[in-house]
Structure 1
Amino acid sequence: MDHRLIAVLVRARPAVATIDAQLARALRPLLRARTINGYRLGGQATGAWNPDYSPAADLTNWRTCQSCGGTTRTGDAPCAACADATRAGRRPGTVVASYTEWARHPGDIVPLPRLLHPGWRFPPGRTPIAWADGAGVVWLGTDEAVRRGTDTGHIPPRLRRVLNDLRLGNRDPDPSQAVPDARWPPRPDQVMPWRYPSQHLRRSDPFNPAGWSVAVVDAHS
């Protein structure tokens, strides 16, 4: 299964329990184009932009070891499945759940102004490969560096362009026109698989970054 980290623009600070409708609107073109098969907030990338958070250290992600029933022993021997519990800081007799069961982390919804700050950097290896919002999907050209382990975390030029357009009001986050193309990989003659529908859909009110956040999404295909 191929996993891709996608940054999705959403309204400011939605609760993790109520964000699904916004994610669905932004990612529907990718699902329709069969570019991805599914996605989860955080998912395998839970805590990706929060170096202080570890899913394995979150007690909501601990489960009773099924091999020993939480007793720490199988027969006369220590249970190998949960032997690292105490050393890893977990309760004895517990294991870490699979990432498919990890609890949603509020830190996977980042206020947009943080990304707009000149000093913002993604943790190395955690730069998104795509940006999605109501205006379309932008492939950022970072997938090869992420795959090779050479991603530095600096904002890629295509994402910088998107962020600048948001500041200037040249990219409407909720246009009424459909997204024309969300295929991956883009054709060689395409720098980006979208155009600017918002150029003809000027907002009557200026874009306010404080009213928006960016969700970390683990998409898979």
Structure 2
Amino acid sequence: MIQERNNSKWFSILLVRSRIVRKIDFFVIGRTIDLSVVGRTVDSSAVSRIIDSSVVGRTIYSSVVGRTIDSSVIDRIIDYSVKDRTIDSSVEGRTIDFSVKDRTIDSSVVGRTIDSSVDGRTIDSSVVGTTLDSSVVGTTLDSYVVGRTIDSSVVGRTIDSSVVGRTIDSSVVGRTIDSSVVGRTIKSAVVGRTIDLSVVGRKIDFFVIGRKICNKCYLTRLIVN
């Protein structure tokens, strides 16, 4: 039913279906609204939005223009500054910083807190409970590295997935650590060293720079080349 008064532009639309009476703000022009969207609060500035009928009880900010929201994302609070984001329906209860733009977040990463400075990072869904420093830019973390604390200075490092529970000094840049060297403490001054995986439990003096240690040298004596 359309009502007009004195040929003015004021009008109201009443949609009646299945005993549901909706009143739509006349400023919402070009909107496609499903009749099943009951109890929705739609801002009049949200122009050209397509809202799925399953999104019940959602409050969408008027500035979120061009967003595609999955119908399964229930009770999510989305900051209006997060523009052009695609959010997986499985990411429930996530708090996303509005500065994290163009991020691709795996749906399995539940309960993660992502720093807004970590731009362009791809985080594996298996890395649960890992605290990533915002300065670690461009680092690829293996999904098996669970519970690791990585220093922000370790840039460009490749860490083997089997190295669990290791503490790596931030000065050890460009090192390749074998996955069998478990429980080792490596001094930060040992730069460019190649450590044999059989040397397990050895303490390497940080003054031994550029030396190669063989896997049979279990004594703490120095071997002169």
The TM-score bracket by the shorter chain reads under 0.3
Higher helix proportion (structure 1 or 2): 1
Largest Rg, 1 or 2: 2
TM-score using structure 2 length: 0.22
Higher strand proportion (structure 1 or 2): 1
Higher relative contact order (CA 8 A, sep 6+): 1
